[in-house]
């Protein structure tokens, strides 16, 4: 390999998709990288180390112990994993099994790959692949969420026919997507954050409109999606203002929190801070109506009762109208039928730059669920966001926001 090539370590785990790592290595070479391969013992059951050695021209490492252990006094090649960890520009794990993800998340180190993961300060890219039921298991999603919080780049698996015969999520991402992720991560200087200098205003949670001192009109929003977007924007270097209705979700570190309860309070908070924002993401579920006259005392059960409602202020539309020049406004829409059609109608009606539309008619995605699914709509395009953890969807949404920003800066409408 040429001396100018950047070293990248490819960790291969024991899954049926291990054979696809060969193509990842080839494409990394084509992209100008110098791939070195580390395999788990289980990976060797699917593909032989000789294959990678022949392609890369480098020794393939699969054990913490030297091959001549015993003959040389049982010397452990423990220094090797430290050297590998310190000399690589990035560690990309493909395929990453549920076992590997769990080891990384919990700091276990019982083989070369997991030990190297703990020893490296280089960027880590993980491309999971597993059975759909395993992929959707709360333990796996929690482990992935922990890795994301630590800055690990997750290359989301696709959906389709799986080796086990099932159809669904968990299928390894395309090899080109994995290589592209490596390129994106290494194209930035370590200190560079793509949202540095931006102020992102995020709304989250579900507002509550009082009926009397103890009752209110509300909705099922947990705030998880908005909080995930706020945390992701903060990790990308943005100053984040989070205007939150009541939520049980832990406040993201480093965000400026503004607590509100009603739609009117959220409207006031957003308008007060709108001038500071370069990006606005309206993920809150804001009540469309409030009670005209709130009872001063608790209402007693005295037969049928009629409540007069009146519309609340349209915060999204007003934010679009009152934003400063150049500020992007991203809305959200929760729909139960004709999702894309209703989403496009709302996008046009509100005048937002983009709209994330979600189908909340089921129980596996949407309100109060750990996962979400939907589409990122602009005036000329629709990007499908398949079922995934809300933490991952937050990253995908911000990816689209960044792309939208670039297109707008170059005068391209989309």
In the block, residue with structure tokens 């290494």: 186
32: left (phi over 0), alpha (psi -120 to 50) or beta: left
SS3 of residue 392 by DSSP: helix
DSSP state, 44? G
Residue 323 near residue 276 (C-beta atoms within 8 A): no
Question: Side by side, which strands form the sheet with 124-128?
Answer: 33-39, 6-12, 91-96, 124-128, 153-154
| CA 345 to mean position of chain CA atoms | 27
Tokens of 258: 């503004």
Question: What's the CA gap between 103 and 101, in Å, rounded?
Answer: 6
SS3 of residue 215 by DSSP: coil
Phi/psi for 309 (5° steps) reads -115, 150
Give which of 270, 256, 279, 289 is closest to 402, Cα–Cα.
279
DSSP state, 26? H
Tokens of 36: 């070195």
Burial class (CB in 10 A: 0-12, 13-18, 19+), 66: middle
Q: What's the N-to-C CA distance of the chain in angstroms?
A: 42
The three-point CA angle 261-263-266 to 5° equals 70
- How many residues are there in the chain? 414
DSSP state, 293? S
Q: Calculate the alpha carbon distances from 114 to 82, 92, 106, 109 in Å.
A: 12, 12, 10, 5
Question: What's the CA gap between 96 and 125, in Å, rounded?
Answer: 10
SS3 of residue 248 by DSSP: coil
Active site residue: 13, 164, 255, 371, which one?
164
Q: Is 255 assigned a catalytic role?
A: no
Catalytic site positions = 164
């Amino acid at each position: 390999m040429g001396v100018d090539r950047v070293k990248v370590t490819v960790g291969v785990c024991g899954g049926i998709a291990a054979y696809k790592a060969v193509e990842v290595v080839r494409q990394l070479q084509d992209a100008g990288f110098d791939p070195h391969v580390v395999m788990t013992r289980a990976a060797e059951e699917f593909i032989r180390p000789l294959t990678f050695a022949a392609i890369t021209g480098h020794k393939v490492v699969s054990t913490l112990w030297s091959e001549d252990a015993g003959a040389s006094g049982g010397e452990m090649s423990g220094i090797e994993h430290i050297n590998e960890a310190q000399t690589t520009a990035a560690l990309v794990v493909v395929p990453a099994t549920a076992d590997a993800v769990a080891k990384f998340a919990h700091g276990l180190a019982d083989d070369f790959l997991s030990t190297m993961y703990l020893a490296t300060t280089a960027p880590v890219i993980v491309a999971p692949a597993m059975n759909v039921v395993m992929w959707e298991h709360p333990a796996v999603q929690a482990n992935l969420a922990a890795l994301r919080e630590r800055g690990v780049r997750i290359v989301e698996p696709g959906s389709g026919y799986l080796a086990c015969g099932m159809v669904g999520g968990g299928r390894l991402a395309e090899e080109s997507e994995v290589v592209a992720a490596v390129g994106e991560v290494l194209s930035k200087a370590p200190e560079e954050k793509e949202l540095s200098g931006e102020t992102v205003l995020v709304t989250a949670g579900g507002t509550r409109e009082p009926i009397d001192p103890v009752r209110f009109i509300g909705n099922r929003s947990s705030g998880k999606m908005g909080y995930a977007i706020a945390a992701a924007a903060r990790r990308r270097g943005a100053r984040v203002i989070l205007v939150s209705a009541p939520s049980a979700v832990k406040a993201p570190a480093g965000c400026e929190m503004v607590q509100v309860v009603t739609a009117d309070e959220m409207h006031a908070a957003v308008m007060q801070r709108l001038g500071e924002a370069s990006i606005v993401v309206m993920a809150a579920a804001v009540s469309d109506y409030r009670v005209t006259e709130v009872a001063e005392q608790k209402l007693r059960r005295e037969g049928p009762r009629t409540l007069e409602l009146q519309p609340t202020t349209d915060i999204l539309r007003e934010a679009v109208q009152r934003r400063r020049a150049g500020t992007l406004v991203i809305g959200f829409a929760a729909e139960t039928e004709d999702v894309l059609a209703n989403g496009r109608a709302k996008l046009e009606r509100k005048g937002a730059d983009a709209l994330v539309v979600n189908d909340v008619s089921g129980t596996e995605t949407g309100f109060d669920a750990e996962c979400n699914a939907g589409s990122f709509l602009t005036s000329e395009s629709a990007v499908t966001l398949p079922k995934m953890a809300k933490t991952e969807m937050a990253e995908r949404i911000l990816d689209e926001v960044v792309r939208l920003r670039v297109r707008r800066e170059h005068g391209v409408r989309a």
